[in-house]
Structure 1
């Protein structure tokens, strides 16, 4: 109150005197007491507001700020692994890579057969007649017409395949009158074809032919098959009535 009365007296004294020149007013410095968005309040306004208690001129309270980074907790444990997602689309084919280094030289293969060629052919005959004495009887041959590279064994009566591929075989026999003729053309231990003639009062020539695909090591030969009747094939020393032929048509591709 004393400060208010003093100010009123000073203003009254100044009003009675009319000086030639008005003295310069003293500027009061502004002190920031609020945020950047609020208007600054002078010291005089602050004092007047406190003295009068007017709500519009009350000094704003500054709210303290808290640094959230200092409140960060410790790192938690890793969670369980989730289910795998669906497969994505296939990517584009990449460019061709660089050529690798040349590999080491391989081991030499097994030694080939000295008689192995890309050709095979034989033609053999029999000059002696033959009567079956066993249930199965092997037919051998005594006459050699063609035996290329000796692929047909005259001692065993079997053709041995050295060159795999497709072969053509034919068998010609002369039947014996009043006797049955039952002959198998064999591949290994299985009958591939049959040559058959019923008993007759006269002898006739019978033939059979077929093609077989052979692997290396297969054997082709002839056997007689005895049933209830007597089985026989006819021939004589002066001529050849029984002929067995075979040759390679096309070798297998390696």
Structure 2
């Protein structure tokens, strides 16, 4: 394609040159009047075939071995910072120097305390009355024992009572110094102190008694039970802790209703007891 364009350009240039040459000749030239008009340039021919590629050139010959270079020693580098070594062994002591001049003296330390001197002669005592003779030591007394008080009374028969009637008992299993009386059925305090009292009563057949514990006729506590059917049995009771003085009395009594019945027999179902907890 490039060769076709080149041939077309050459043809155009040749045509222009020929035209200028004809115009410069004299008008009487025969060729001027006889030559016809310039023809249209021809179509360029087809491009020729490409030539064969050239062959690669051969490797050149190996050059001669160069000379051995000289070993030049470099300059010495700067000194590095080394690690500090371990301390060496202690050297020998030097000779003792001359004794220096004595300095200005300061007060010395206080010396040890001296021995105590002998006791002086005792002065004469003033006149005094004659002392009485010391009596002989008495015999060792017996160990003292705290006073005691306790009782336990039981019923062995039935009892029917009205309001304020005293509940009675027939026997005592314990009665220290007789502080409980089977005649009055009351406990009378002989040792002032704190006392514990307990009682238990049994009922049989339809009844509903109220049994009260009193101190000097003052109500302390009450126990109550009720039987509605025949041949039923029930039991009730109560307890109290009292502070008693000498002469105070404690007993049980019927309360609230009259005609109420307590049950008692040889089995000792009903009881009344008390004891001294500690003396005041």
- Equivalent residue for 1:165? 193
Unpaired stretches in structure 1, ≥5 consecutive residues: 1-116
Listed one character per residue, the Cα deviations across residues 3-41 of structure 1 (whole Å, up to 9, x for unaligned) are xxxxxxxxxxxxxxxxxxxxxxxxxxxxxxxxxxxxxxx
* In structure 2, distance between residues paired with 1:213 and 1:143: 26
**TM-aligned CA deviation for residue 200 of structure 1:** 3.1
On the 8 A contact 2:154/2:270 being kept in 1, the answer is yes
CA apart distance, 1:205: 1.7
Counterpart-to-counterpart distance in 1, 2:187 and 2:171: 14
**Which residue of the partner structure matches residue 274 of structure 2?**
246
Pair 1:215 & 2:215 matched: no
1:180, 1:230 within 8 Å by CA — same for their partners in 2?
A: no
RMSD (CA atoms): 1.8
1:142 is displaced (CA, Å) by 0.6
- Map 1:35-114; keep pairs closer than 5 Å: none
Is the contact between residue 225 and residue 235 of structure 2 (CA under 8 Å) also seen in structure 1?
no
The one of 214, 233, 236 aligned to 1:206: 236
Unaligned runs of 5+ in 2: 1-145
| Aligned equivalent of 1:126 | 155
Which residue pairs with 1:32 in the alignment? none
Asked whether the equivalents of residues 181 and 199 of structure 1 are also in contact (C-alpha less than 8 Å), the reply is no
In 2, distance between residues paired with 1:210 and 1:200? 29
Greater share of strand residues, 1 or 2? 1
Return structure 1 stretches of 4+ with deviation > 3 angstroms: none
Task: Give the alignment partner of residue 142 of structure 1, picking from 170, 175, 181.
Answer: 170
Could you tell me how far 1:226 is from its partner in structure 2?
4.6
Q: Which has the larger radius of gyration?
A: 2
State the match for 2:80 in structure 1. Answer: none
| Deviation, structure 1 residue 135 | 2.8
Aligned to 1:154: 182
| 1:218-229 matched pairs, under 5 angstroms | 218-227=248-257
Residues 156-193 of structure 1: per-residue CA shift (max 9 Å, x gap):
00100011111000001102331012111110111111
- SS of 1:149's partner is helix
CA contact (8 A) 2:226 2:234 kept: no
**How far apart, in 1, do the equivalents of 2:159 and 2:233 lie?**
14
Aligned residues: 134
TM-score (norm 2): 0.46
